[in-house]
Copies of this chain bind each other. A is one copy, B any other.
Amino acid sequence: MIELHDLINEIGADFDGKSINISALNTLSDATSHELSFLQNKGYVSQLKKTKAGAVLVTPDMVENVPSTTIAVVVDEPYLALAKASKLFAPALVDLTAADALIGEGTMVAEGATLAKGAVIGKNCTIMPGVYIGRGTIIGDNTIIHSNVSIYHDCIVGSDCIIHSSSVIGSDGFGFATTKLGTHVKIYQNGNVVIKDDVEIGACTTIDRAAFGTTLIKEGVRIDNLVQIGHNCVIGEYSVLVAQAGIAGSTELGRNVVLGGQAAASGHLKVAPFTTFAARAGITNDVKESHKVYGGFPLMEQRAWLKLQVKLSRLLKS
């Protein structure tokens, strides 16, 4: 909890309104009455009008759109102000005052693994050498975590999961505000990663923690090696992500989506369930029709892409 007045003082802005306690930062649509939000992109003004946030960072011209129940904090660059504020909510990486990790019955923790204070491991797990599990992270039952995996603080991994070596769960999402001078100010990533039951994750795969809220991998997902999943993504149940695929921040896949090798999706998209993407498909818009196979970059139906290649081979011969 931080007093709004103190927060504004810390980030170097002016404010003489009412002060409240702020517990966290959040998006306009998810923020509650003790959270601080922001409006940077005016395309989201309809969300501003409906926000339940306790306070919002806005530019002067947007004040009139702030609901009466929300405190307007006027700044020149709301996103930059948010970045500065985010640091105030970043927890310490290490908390030596927490209780020792709890380890369930039948769980094998190898010598050379590190369970931070405050971690909780379920029953019959296997934690191999070189694994690091951060403060407050919770692991279910029967889960196998291979050597040299890192799981940052405050994440949740389900039961019956397997995570292969060198993978990283809960690293910081790629978030920063860029100043007018071209320098970057980190947006501390104060959310987490939640992985549901029966998920298998390959080697050297990275799943970033959310800026606020949760990066969510639903039940039964299969992720191959060297896959990138950005902050705040949602991967639907039983989806399959083949090696070297990448998904940018805040994109949501429905259930049973299949991404071929090196396929990728831009951020902030929604992909319909039961869709399949060929290797190297590049998704840059929402995908609304299920039960189809897509490919190419820009994306089209895979059979259209194949037809286009035939046309191109004719063009080459002409």
Contact = CB atoms under 8 A, between A and B. Distances in A.
Interface stretch (A23-31, A40-48, A310-318): A310-318
Interface of A: 93-94, 108, 110-112, 114, 126, 128-130, 132, 144, 146-148, 150, 152, 162, 164-168, 171-172, 174, 176, 178, 182-184, 186, 198, 200, 202-206, 208, 220, 222, 224-226, 228, 230, 238, 240, 242-244, 246, 248, 255-256, 261-262, 264, 266, 279-280, 282, 297-298, 300, 304, 307-309, 311-313, 315-316, 318
A150 B166 contact: yes
Contact of A261 (B162, B264, B312): B264
Contacts of A167: 166, 204
B203 A206 contact: yes
Q: Identify whether the interface residues of A are mostly helix, strand, loop, or mixed.
A: loop
A129 B113 CA distance: 9
A126 B94 CA distance: 9
Contacts of A300: 313, 316
Given A182-B255, A206-B226, A279-B282, 13 more contacts: A114-B130, A130-B132, A130-B150, A148-B148, A150-B165, A166-B204, A184-B238, A204-B204, A224-B228, A226-B228, A226-B246, A246-B262, A311-B318
